[in-house]
Structure 1
Amino acid sequence: MEPSTASTGPAAQGTGRTAAGQGVSAYNSVAQLQTDLWWSIADTARRLATPGLGAAERAEAAAVLDRTLADVEVLAFYFSHPGRQVAETLRGQASESYLELSRTAERIGRGLIGDVPISTAAVTGREDGSADATHPAQDRRPRFDVLVVADLSEAEETRILRELRAVRRREDAFVYDIVAVPSFVDAAVAVLVNPWIQAVVVRPDFRNRSAVDLTLLHRLVPPAGHPDLDYFTAAERARVLARQVREVRPEVDLHLVEQASIEQLAAQVGREFDAVFLQQEDVLDLHLTILRGVGRRYRTPFYSALLDYARKPAGVFHAMPVSRGNSVVRSPWIHDMCDFYGLNIFLAETSATAGGLDSLLEPQGAIREAQDLAARAFGARRTYFVTNGTSTANKIVTQALVAPGDVVLVDRNCHKSHHYAQVMAGSNVAYLDSYSIDAYSMYGAIPLADIKRTLLTYRREGRLDRVALISLTNCTFDGVVYDVERVMIECLAIKPDLVFLWDEAWFAFARFHPVYRRRTAMAAAARLTERFGTAEYRREYERHRERIRGMTDDELMRERLLPDPDEVRIRAYATQSTHKTLTSLRQGSMIHVHDDDFARRSEEAFHEAYMTHTSTSPNYQVLASLDVGRRQVELEGFELVLRQVELAMSLRDRIAEHPLLAKYFRVLSSSDLIPDEYRPWGTECPVRAGPVAMDEAWGVDEFVLDPCRVTIEISATGIDGDTFKRVQLMDRWGIQVNKTTRNTVLAMTNIGTTRTAVAHLLRALIGIAEELESATGRMTPEQKRAFDLRADELAHDHPPLPDFSRFHAAFRADPTGAAADGDMRRAYYMAYREELCEFVSADEARRRVNAGLPVVSAIFVTPYPPGFPILVPGQEFSKDILDFMDALDTKEIHGYDPVRGYRVFVPSALAGGTGGTSRQPDGNGRPATGRT
């Protein structure tokens, strides 16, 4: 953040340190810092109010209090609650009554923790007609801040605030108050630190620089910069600020106010602003527009239609006895189900699409509108609701874009739904291997160099036209996130119409955080669409084309490639499990589409695939929850995700700082899960580096680590991951976690995580560590050696994770080529014929492999962990695969019979194979092309 050299304004002498002497680097968010400041004021003022405090101690405490109040003044500059009037009142209390100051600060701190900030009027005693004159407990209307950006005199600011307050009405659906700032930098800071801002009103006379000393925030807020706007026109200045706000908070409404020539200004600012007003005459219109903008995001078309339906009396003469609760409420045997769920869930059950409820398969009303609103919220061109999970969403997209015989590049350790989707589509699968993390039995992500190498191989062999789609997982279960924009740019440079399916099942929340957003599929697709259409990019590409002319494939591998703007097509799809990371009932998912060729090439096939996999009786409660979940993240997603990250960082810090916890547990960092070669930024990030460092790394590194995935290494406990999860966390402490490996457990924060939950997990870990400390202290030397040996085995004795071997020649489209894709569908259905299969033991499989004989799996073999297929139909066994399977101590292996062994093809089934392609020639004798 740009520190101002000005000597005026709030906290001009700010220290950049908390009242307790902690550097700002000790904090992971502004909210965390703000809460600590208020508690520090309360505690320090209480000490100063204590009789008998020594002179030296009193002087030191007074100095701490003065610094802390200065820091509070910096934050109060950007908030309405507690705002500048509160900061001024506290300064007065500091000179009058330390005890009263302590009580006030404590009340404010408690209000912030409970998300019900104490009203300004309650602190200052000024009944000025502001929105907070009524205590929040007495007014349940949603409340928000409006940011006014203008270089106002004190008199002008007072007048504008008075005029806006004067037009408010009790019947308004929402309550807001004003935060006024004078400069570009202040506006950029405000939208980052104040999540309550829902609208920004701009007058183009704002200044460039801030008069506030922003040292306090330099580790917590990424730098906004301050472009030289002095020579810009009013429209240019407004557009620059609008782009800055949109980059950080695309969901907020932007309104422009000017004193004259607003007709010309409206034409010049284009779509950057939602509305333009004449300052002297449009105060009421501005007020109503602010409310209407928030109301637009607040609307939930389908949820509201479902509420209306549930409230109407109805005679049920269709197929659902449970509708209106008729088969439940009057039953003496199952009425407890109504007691448990409540009557509303049954009142909202119906198989009819009348009454505004709409049809999911052919939406024309409320569902269509709800999906359009979701597309806006997630930055997509189109969005489709899915009521039976992202597994189905992946199958829909794959079936819509892939025809039998098309080549699909697939992340080998992706979710099983992708593997089965390829079987159903009849594609030729080319598996891509992620880098392995053997020490923790995990896979990371697929290096871009390997993806480029595969595409260049297909181009060299004359089969690039057959490559239809690439499917990648962003982010992985363990939190490894791709540089989506770079992957798309360089792949499109090799194949300009390549379609991308980004599985973002665990990443739906990322849209609502400015650092995360840049690595989402929809945000990257939108940026590339804008960039490729500029004259500047065209000139950049022309220079690039000349530079790479004549380069070999090996040289292109090391080059940052750029696509031809005349040929490139942006075709990106993202599947998201809304229910995993945002508010939705189980199986609520979305498909987001940004496809330049959707209407021309894919829409009809997409609708057919959607029909194929979507129930004609979708769960309306799931649909309603998707609608409400979208409303929530548009209005408070920024705040909720900030808190989610803050809690994750806090959990990481507490484990690292606590001596006993650090002895038995270690939270894995980016250097543990991402090799150095993929982290050019180099610094440990995001652990203990702060939000600014996180922002820098996420702009540079090929792979980054989502800090909300807290992977705890537990080798020192001597307990394996599965046992630790079941026996220690779940059975003893009632704590649920998502995933384990042999020596790790994965704890995730989400938008519903509370501080109490984090404290409970920490208390559980401390309890486990204390018991281990006590138990090891009582061990005999022999027992201690056995314990240490077990811990050492968990830490170091790991079976290496195997790469994908290859498809057998009988299932490869080109058995002699380097591009070794295989027809997994053919192998999958061959396994239906019992005479073509047999069972072999692990020893027999190893004997055959050592003898050079092919052993080919007939089915999927999936151990948990790691939770993805080690073997797929048509894949050859290798020594590495057998070594890995023999070393596993996991109890759950799908596709392996511990009595009979592996199900494989008999040798005669593989003899005379002609390759895996199942494509039929078209009328011209050419292989049929896919839908893409």
Structure 2
Amino acid sequence: MNIIAIMGPNHVFYKDEPVRELDAALKQQGFHTVYPQGAEDLLKLIEHNPRICGVVFDWDEYSLDLCSEINQLNEYLPLYAFINTHSTMDVGINEMRMAIWFFEYALNAAEEIALRIRQSTEEYVDTITPPLTKALFNYVKEGKTTFCTPGHMAGTAFQKSPVGSLFYDFFGANTLKADISISVSELGSLLDHTGPHLEAEEYIARTFGAEQSYMVTNGTSTSNKIVGMYAAAAGSTVLIDRNCHKSLTHLLMMSDIIPIWLKPTRNALGILGGIPKREFSKESIALKVSQTPRAGWPVHAVITNSTYDGLLYSTQFIKETLEVPSIHFDSAWVPYTNFHPIYRGLSGMSGERTPGKVIYETQSTHKLLAAFSQASLIHIKGDYDEQTFNEAYMMHTTTSPNYAIVASIETAAAMLRGNSGRRLINRSVERALHFRREVQRLREESDGWFFDIWQPDGVDEPECWAIQPGGEEWHGFRDADADHMYLDPIKVTILTPGMSEMGEMAEEGIPAALVAKFLDERGVVVEKTGPYNLLFLFSIGIDKTKAMSVLRGLTEFKRAYDLNLRVKNMLPDLYAQDPDFYRNMRIQTLAQGIHSLIRQHDLPRLMLQAFAMLPEMKLTPHQMFQQQVQGNVETVDISRLVGRVSANMILPYPPGVPLVMPGEMITEESRPVLDFLLMLCTIGRHYPGFETDIHGATLTEEGQYLVRVLKQAGENEPV
């Protein structure tokens, strides 16, 4: 940070000459100076260049109005005002809180002023740098000689090898110097929560509106397990969202607890609508408990908020309605909800404490904020046993954490503090809204078909749109609850032709997988692909150029599709997977072939039925994993799954929602689950390159999907 913006006076000699002297003195101090053309130009510069570390201006010309506008962008940015003996110093108490320093126009004072600006800049950097990151930066600058881990010794070892030198040059010196041992006492301890690590946790808790926060370096997969290990003792019963991340299934496999599933709704497009209100009632839970062997009243509940497609709950209803001691909101995909008013009341940490309950919220700091992969946070509101919780924390946390990941968590939090942080999130919302409007405009202007967007009419103002009951066919949920679920505007779902929101299949259609492959070959990677929908995430890292690349890709696809180009020319990577099959095929033939298969299997009906009747739980996931460890499993073709107990979670991607859990058996009543899986397999067998990724199943070279099941007693080894 070494850029100083100077708003020069209007060609008055006694003012111009001191400014010229200051410019020279600042350059001697290592600063780079820029001269905006007026106040509006300056504000745009500050907004778009975060390396601006100070503004020099004439007080008589710009005064407090400019200071207030700068303060709205960055309340910490130092401001330096030149005054003369006749200047009016009308500064109130509120304005005095701003970081303003005053200097008189005088010759031969530039060096002293430049030195003061240098000191203020250092204070500014110190103010905005969070505690652990600051300690890590200082440690690296000290350049100490260590005789402890890691073995590369600040990168020295890499430079002793040709391939190691390539690695060193790629990642850079500071990255490797910041990879340090937990033995470095001045940084405190991540496991013991001392020193700068403790300061960082307190800093993060204040930022995210929590009472206590924990930094986790192996992703929210680990955060979920930490919370679950603490909140539910062996033998207890837990309410779990069926739309859970697979890390929670792994928790159930690790810990001997009994799951009771909260079943979400879904629409014909395959978009999850969240758990309906009736599922949270005491009567509904009591019925589930009575139907589940060995189950007692639940001690803990896990809710996915938001869903993969961006639907958020009004969390206060859940907190007040669920009669359990603790509630965990898995908010991996929404770490930003505390920083924009449209998300008020839609996050785990929103509002005050819930009497008699502990609220947990886990967030993937790396998913949509600026943190390294594996960066995650656990937030807590309510009374809990810190020592016991920390034992669960240490069970899953390495004793050799990567300090760069930890510092990136804290830095991501620091970026969200204050006015500049709110502006970051607001930009994401505004860019997503602009993108939505552009898709609508292109649709209106296009000849024939174009892509649609999953949203209500009229999306001009920033808000989360309610999934309301009755007559609102845009969302496709027939039995929606009032004021329960809300669509996050930065999760943008593009719809391809072929299926309506209510599940009506058209004669012709364009499966979304074709569009995703087309975009991927042009450098645009889609977050999630459904049968006829594509999900794009407008995180804080998305700018106008990236959004434009998506719009360009969509329009290029339409042009190529309407020309009915050969697959070989339009999707060369797909063609390369099976040149003989695709040699003379054109894109419309491929699209209609897949679309016809989907219509033949009646996908909307099949998908709704597949998630309406859950398989029967024969063993808990923990019991099933113990059987697997003992070798009491065998492999069968997926078509033989009816009547067999699945050893693993079976999860097709897309849509990325578990269909079968470990220890569950598909019965005749839940056969649509298998029919849905077989339909996905059929598409891959007919069209090379469109094989579905099914977690829990192994795809052979012959195109066969194999799954592991519990051995049947009497035929193999006894269970």
**Shorter-chain-normalised TM-score: which range?**
0.7 to 0.9
Counterpart residue type for residue 544 of structure 2: R
Aligned residue for 2:450? 664
How do 1:333-732 and structure 2 match up within 5 A?
333-438=163-268, 440-452=269-281, 453-457=283-287, 466-491=297-322, 495=323, 497-524=324-351, 526=352, 529=354, 568-596=355-383, 598-599=384-385, 603-635=386-418, 636-658=420-442, 659-660=445-446, 663-669=449-455, 679-680=468-469, 701-715=483-497, 719-725=510-516, 727-732=517-522
Q: In structure 1, how many angstroms separate the alpha carbons of the residues matched to 2:513 and 2:673? A: 22
**What whole-Å deviation, never above 9, does each CA across 1:28-70 have from its counterpart, x for those lacking one?**
xxxxxxxxxxxxxxxxxxxxxxxxxxxxxxxxxxxxxxxxxxx
Choose from 897, 908, 932 the match for 2:713: 908
Q: In structure 2, how many angstroms separate the alpha carbons of the residues matched to 1:843 and 1:777? A: 34
Distance 1:684-1:157 versus aligned 2 partners, 3 A rule: farther
Q: In structure 2, how many angstroms separate the alpha carbons of the residues matched to 1:409 and 1:519? A: 20
Q: Say if 1:711 and 1:746, in contact at 8 Å, map to a contact too.
A: yes
Q: Say if 1:571 and 1:594, in contact at 8 Å, map to a contact too.
A: yes
Aligned residue for 2:634? 838
Aligned residue for 1:66? none
Following superposition, the deviation at residue 805 of structure 1 comes to 4.9
Following superposition, the deviation at residue 843 of structure 1 comes to 4.4
Following superposition, the deviation at residue 721 of structure 1 comes to 3.2
Q: Say if 2:510 and 2:591, in contact at 8 Å, map to a contact too.
A: no
Q: Secondary structure in 1 aligned to 2:652?
A: strand
- 1:826 and 2:612 matched: no
Distance 1:791-1:464 versus aligned 2 partners, 3 A rule: closer
Q: Say if 1:806 and 1:876, in contact at 8 Å, map to a contact too.
A: no
Q: TM-score, normalised by structure 2?
A: 0.73
Distance 1:614-1:856 versus aligned 2 partners, 3 A rule: same
Following superposition, the deviation at residue 785 of structure 1 comes to 7.7
Counterpart residue type for residue 751 of structure 1: I
Distance 1:772-1:736 versus aligned 2 partners, 3 A rule: same
Distance 1:788-1:882 versus aligned 2 partners, 3 A rule: closer
- 1:755 and 2:544 matched: yes
Following superposition, the deviation at residue 874 of structure 1 comes to 1.4
Distance 1:318-1:125 versus aligned 2 partners, 3 A rule: closer
Q: Say if 1:743 and 1:794, in contact at 8 Å, map to a contact too.
A: no
Distance 1:663-1:481 versus aligned 2 partners, 3 A rule: same
Q: Say if 1:839 and 1:900, in contact at 8 Å, map to a contact too.
A: no
Counterpart residue type for residue 665 of structure 1: F
Counterpart residue type for residue 625 of structure 2: Y
Distance 1:157-1:897 versus aligned 2 partners, 3 A rule: same
Q: Structure 1 vs Structure 2: percent identity of aligned residues?
A: 28
Structure 1: tracts of 5 or more residues without a match: 1-81, 83-102, 146-154, 172-290, 530-567, 687-697, 812-822, 915-932
- 1:143 and 2:77 matched: yes
Q: In structure 1, how many angstroms separate the alpha carbons of the residues matched to 2:64 and 2:192? A: 47
Q: Secondary structure in 1 aligned to 2:154?
A: helix
Q: Say if 2:639 and 2:678, in contact at 8 Å, map to a contact too.
A: no
Following superposition, the deviation at residue 662 of structure 1 comes to 8.4
Give the structure with the larger helix fraction.
1
Q: In structure 2, how many angstroms separate the alpha carbons of the residues matched to 1:300 and 1:325? A: 25
RMSD: 4.4
Q: In structure 1, how many angstroms separate the alpha carbons of the residues matched to 2:254 and 2:410? A: 30
Distance 1:787-1:841 versus aligned 2 partners, 3 A rule: closer
Aligned residue for 2:571? none
**What whole-Å deviation, never above 9, does each CA across 1:311-369 have from its counterpart, x for those lacking one?**
11322211322222210234344212222111111221221433521111112100001
Following superposition, the deviation at residue 296 of structure 1 comes to 9.5
Following superposition, the deviation at residue 394 of structure 1 comes to 0.3
Q: In structure 1, how many angstroms separate the alpha carbons of the residues matched to 2:315 and 2:170? A: 44
Distance 1:449-1:123 versus aligned 2 partners, 3 A rule: same
Following superposition, the deviation at residue 471 of structure 1 comes to 0.6
Question: Which entry has the higher C-alpha Rg, 1 or 2?
Answer: 1
Following superposition, the deviation at residue 872 of structure 1 comes to 1.5
Q: Secondary structure in 1 aligned to 2:143?
A: coil
Counterpart residue type for residue 472 of structure 1: I
How many residue pairs match? The answer is: 595
Aligned residue for 2:578? none
How do 1:265-280 and structure 2 match up within 5 A?
none
Structure 2: tracts of 5 or more residues without a match: 1-6, 8-36, 80-86, 104-120, 458-464, 499-507, 568-583, 684-690
Following superposition, the deviation at residue 436 of structure 1 comes to 1.8
**What whole-Å deviation, never above 9, does each CA across 1:155-185 have from its counterpart, x for those lacking one?**
99945389849994379xxxxxxxxxxxxxx
Q: In structure 2, how many angstroms separate the alpha carbons of the residues matched to 1:867 and 1:513? A: 28
Q: In structure 2, how many angstroms separate the alpha carbons of the residues matched to 1:581 and 1:783? A: 34
Choose from 61, 71, 75 the match for 1:127: 61
Q: Say if 1:715 and 1:792, in contact at 8 Å, map to a contact too.
A: no
Q: In structure 2, how many angstroms separate the alpha carbons of the residues matched to 1:787 and 1:900? A: 24
Q: In structure 1, how many angstroms separate the alpha carbons of the residues matched to 2:558 and 2:246? A: 36
Aligned residue for 1:875? 664
Q: Secondary structure in 1 aligned to 2:300?
A: strand
Q: Say if 1:309 and 1:355, in contact at 8 Å, map to a contact too.
A: no
Following superposition, the deviation at residue 583 of structure 1 comes to 1.6
Distance 1:358-1:161 versus aligned 2 partners, 3 A rule: closer
Q: In structure 2, how many angstroms separate the alpha carbons of the residues matched to 1:350 and 1:777? A: 54
Aligned residue for 2:607? 800
Aligned residue for 2:504? none
Counterpart residue type for residue 610 of structure 1: Y
Aligned residue for 2:696? 895
Distance 1:445-1:407 versus aligned 2 partners, 3 A rule: same
Counterpart residue type for residue 586 of structure 1: S
Following superposition, the deviation at residue 465 of structure 1 comes to 5.5
Counterpart residue type for residue 707 of structure 2: Y
Q: Secondary structure in 2 aligned to 1:803?
A: helix
Aligned residue for 2:576? none
Q: In structure 1, how many angstroms separate the alpha carbons of the residues matched to 2:615 and 2:272? A: 21
**What whole-Å deviation, never above 9, does each CA across 1:545-571 have from its counterpart, x for those lacking one?**
xxxxxxxxxxxxxxxxxxxxxxx5121
Choose from 127, 132, 139 the match for 1:309: 139
**What whole-Å deviation, never above 9, does each CA across 1:624-672 have from its counterpart, x for those lacking one?**
111111111013221111110111111111001112398221111269x
Q: In structure 2, how many angstroms separate the alpha carbons of the residues matched to 1:313 and 1:107? A: 41
Q: In structure 1, how many angstroms separate the alpha carbons of the residues matched to 2:566 and 2:615? A: 53
**What whole-Å deviation, never above 9, does each CA across 1:659-695 have from its counterpart, x for those lacking one?**
2398221111269xxxx99515977999xxxxxxxxx
Q: In structure 1, how many angstroms separate the alpha carbons of the residues matched to 2:201 and 2:170? A: 31
Following superposition, the deviation at residue 807 of structure 1 comes to 6.4
Counterpart residue type for residue 225 of structure 2: K
Q: Secondary structure in 2 aligned to 1:863?
A: strand
Q: Secondary structure in 1 aligned to 2:150?
A: coil
Q: Say if 1:840 and 1:901, in contact at 8 Å, map to a contact too.
A: yes
Following superposition, the deviation at residue 723 of structure 1 comes to 4.0
Q: Secondary structure in 1 aligned to 2:92?
A: helix
